A and B are shown apart, each in its own frame.
Chain A
Amino acid sequence: MLSVRNLTKRFGTKKVVDGVTMKIQKKKITSFIGPNGAGKSTVLSMISRLILADEGIIHIDDKELSSCKSNDLAKKISILKQSNHINVRLTVRELVSFGRFPYSQGRLTKEDWEYVDEAIHYMELEEMQEKYLDELSGGQRQRAYIAMVIAQNTEYILLDEPLNNLDMKHSVQIMKVLRRLVDELGKTVVIVIHDINFASCYSDYIVALKDGKVVKEGPTDEIIKPSVLKDIYDMDINIEYIDNNKICVFYA
């Protein structure tokens, strides 16, 4: 289990994250929602050690984050940020093979390559695995990055706005993959997401943040309610049931 206690981060004098405490359950999709500047991405970056917390403690499976070796953590938890500009020219297969670095330190064994092939297969990238990343569309590229994370084979997978700049078809595709990762492979997925309808349809648990604090957390059903959403977003949001899914209507 991932647990976070009293997490705080300041940029200058501004508290971006202010005393966040939460527990993230295993084998679930947990979504962080909330308005821009709520500190969602910052919390995710701190959990994945990309940035250091000013205060607070993060535990991964009862071990404190700061006491773990970076390489051991890389086998337990992986993070995919929303902008992934890479300065070197890589093929899809090369990128995915980097996911095995924590295990092989760059010298991939036969077993490592099997993981790479499996990840490529899982994301249905076989046909474009020799293509360079800059030749791919945004959706294909995102799938390649997720394949790399799958090859890394970590229990916890953290994704910062994985649907950013993707069209509906690719967004659904990515969310279905995340769902399968949880249901079939038993991973624990944490995402930052802006589209609350995707959060509503695909996640098990939702943490709502606002002004650096957790305003509400709970199973999806408890969060997707007009009264709760009003607290989070300061706007009236109607909820309709369509095919057993709760759909938020906020366009008009």
Chain B
Amino acid sequence: MTKVKVAMDWLAACAGCEMSVLDMDERLVQLLDKIELTSTPITDLKHPPKDGVTVGILSGAVNNTTNLEVVKEMRERCKILIALGDCAVFGGIMTMRNFFDMNEALRRAYIETESTVDGIIPSSEELSKPILTQPVNQIVKVDVYLPGCPPSADAIHHVLKELVEGRMPILTGENLKYD
């Protein structure tokens, strides 16, 4: 049986969702018989393969210009896109920044903080620019929503197992939580 190709990436995120993926423990090792990890933050391929993957997974909110590119590339290269975790699903804790003026927030971080000496706001062309924080579905179409901060390993396992077996996952009970 050919393995199901999966790609993952993170946006403005904390890596908690990725840790919850690892929290599948031995079940993750078993899943690896059925899925092939392509680009992920824990492997060394940097972008989803050009010829596409079946499942794309994004965690984190969109809050800078680099995130926009990552989201669009993932959508173009995957058949089924999963928004993993509260930040990807509805913006999550990252949206708290939206209640403040961006320049004031940057000034606090890089100039006014008590320990900062002679600060400046980083603005090199090498860096992405911050934008209003949004969930993934404000940029591209999302096929599967998996909320939680982070979603439990059980919920992630359920979703991946259903997809591997050719069904669209439905979340109910303990697997559907928003914290």
Tell me if chain B binds chain A.
no
A interface list, Cβ under 8 A from B: none
